[in-house]
Amino acid sequence: MKDTDMLDNYDFDKSIKNPYINRLKKSITIRLDTDTINYFKTLSKDSGIPYQTLINYFLSQCAKEKKKPEVVWE
């Protein structure tokens, strides 16, 4: 059996583009304080939701509500 033999079994004529393409997440590097990470990891243990998902959810809520951080320089 050749690799091309399987291609005969596929028909993409009625396929549609991925409807979730705009909802894909992008991987980034971010530096967070250890206390912040530990806070979300504790929430994660209590809720059963992965801590990175909780951080994303929290930041998404802030963005939707157009919250701005209170910046206090010491």
Residue 55 has a pLDDT of 97
- Domains contained in the chain, number: 1
Residue 36 lies in a domain: yes
Which residues touch 58 (CB under 8 Å, ≥6 apart)? 40
Residue 1 lies in a domain: no
pTM attached to this predicted model: 0.66
Residue 43 lies in a domain: yes
Residue 27 lies in a domain: no
Residue 69 lies in a domain: yes
Tens of pLDDT, residue by residue, the chain (74 residues): 556 666 677 888 888 888 888 888 889 999 999 999 999 999 999 999 999 999 999 999 999 999 999 999 88
Residue 7 has a pLDDT of 67
Residue 12 lies in a domain: no
Residue 9 has a pLDDT of 77
Domain containing 70 equals: 32-74
